[in-house]
Amino acid sequence: MPGTLLDARAFDETCDAVDDVNVLKSEIWNSKSEFDAQKDKTQFRRYEEACDRVKNFYREQHENQTVEYNIKARVEFKSKKRARMGVWEAIEMLNTLVDESDPDTSLSQIEHLLQTAEAIRRDGKPEWMQVTGLVHDLGKLLFLFGSEGQWDVVGDTFVVGCKFSDKIIYPDTFGNNPDSYDPVYSSEYGIYRPNCGLDNVMLSWGHDEYLYNVLKDQSSLPAEGLAMIRYHSFYPWHRENAYNHLTSPKDLKILEAVRAFNPYDLYSKSDAPCDVEKLKPYYQRLIAKYFPPVLDW
């Protein structure tokens, strides 16, 4: 049952293991990232050296992320409210999950969120991008709200409803996904039209897609901020250039935004811990600027 001490520990360990092998290359929001100039980027997303936990996680994810499941997940999202709370309360709730797990983990969720936001802030990026960094992983609350497991919360995302791209990590593990043998879902375009645009495709359900759906009508974040949230785990697209046959000209601007954001998400994990209480007033001010006091989750 998600939410127990054992499940919380396993969730946190999987998140850490997946994050440990994650990256991208890529003052005004779309200027070059400066904070990560000295970081060794070859140490990220080394999936060939990943531990069994990561490999087993992706095998489970790839077997279970079907069109049928994704439709069900979206229907459930629209049919019920999981909580009503403010953004900072949600941050503290997510951090509770980490506090209940292995105390030897290198980062708590709140540290990762603040490190991401602070790296963006130090590079002189706008306030909306800073607060996007602060909230980008709040979709992991799904684990506390009764997810199926970890496979529908974390990990890289990909398109369902058409042929699984060979640019997805561990593509061979889709062998047990029934959509791989469906004559429509396994075709190049599947249920989509050529260059229909990412707004019109279904991404595998997880914390990115969930949080995007929570915030798109409950925040004043610009389109670029919402795209950073929705697509930051969509590595087959923004790193490997997959799905060009489905993207539209509008998606090129979105791609620029996601690539501008991802260095802060990935490389900030090696930064020094943040002073939460010292930073809290600054980010509470930003939260009040871009979000209502209470949101439906």
* Residues that constitute the known binding site for Fe cation: 112, 136-137, 207, 232, 265
- The three-point CA angle 247-191-195 to 5° equals 20
The answer to whether 43 and 266 are in contact (CB under 8 A) is no
CA distance 131 to 116: 9
The answer to whether 246 and 193 are in contact (CB under 8 A) is no
The answer to whether 206 and 152 are in contact (CB under 8 A) is yes
Q: Which of 106, 121, 104, 133 is nearest to 228 (CA)?
A: 133
How far CA 141 is from CA of 11, 83, 214, 263, in Å, comes to 11, 10, 11, 23
Helix or strand holding residue 9 (H, E):
helix 5-20
Give the pair of three-digit tokens for residue 35: 């904070």
Residues annotated as binding site?
A: 45, 99-101, 112, 136-137, 140, 155-156, 207, 232-233, 265
Residues annotated as binding site for substrate?
A: 45, 99-101, 140, 155-156, 232-233
Radius of gyration of the chain (CA): 18
Q: Which amino acid is at 231?
A: Y
Alpha helices in 40-174 (DSSP H): 52-64, 67-79, 87-99, 109-122, 127-135
Beta bridge partners of 148: none
